[in-house]
Amino acid sequence: IAPNTVLEFFKLIEKINLPAGVINYVCGHGATVGNSLSSNSKTGIVSLTGSVFAGQKVMEAAALNITKVSLELGGKAPAIVCADADLELAATA
């Protein structure tokens, strides 16, 4: 489901006419596509939502070029809870 959500987001992004290459959406198997992107010296930042193992592989590949990495690992499903939120509902949701 997650790749489809991002694809829909990118369809919206296309409508604002950013210059080519400013933002890119690439899908593929991590061992092939992810490693190539993570270890490429032209990559400015890698963001991954996935398993701890996948995060370790991304960090390992990105370390070669000291590429910035943002990881959300282990299925913790983070959420931003605002000060005026119903905390009981936020905790159960």
| pLDDT tens digit sequence for 35-72 | 898 999 999 998 888 888 989 999 999 999 999 999 98
Catalytic annotation, pick one of 8, 14, 60, 72: 72
With beta carbons less than 8 A apart as the criterion, state whether 48 and 35 touch. Answer: no
Length of the chain: 93
Closest CA to 71 of 88, 49, 87: 49
pLDDT digits (tens, 9 = 90+) for 14-42: 899 888 888 888 877 878 888 898 999 99
> Is 60 assigned a catalytic role?
no
Give pTM, 2 decimals: 0.60
**pLDDT over 90 (residue 84):** yes
pLDDT band at 93 (very low <50, low <70, confident <90, very high): confident
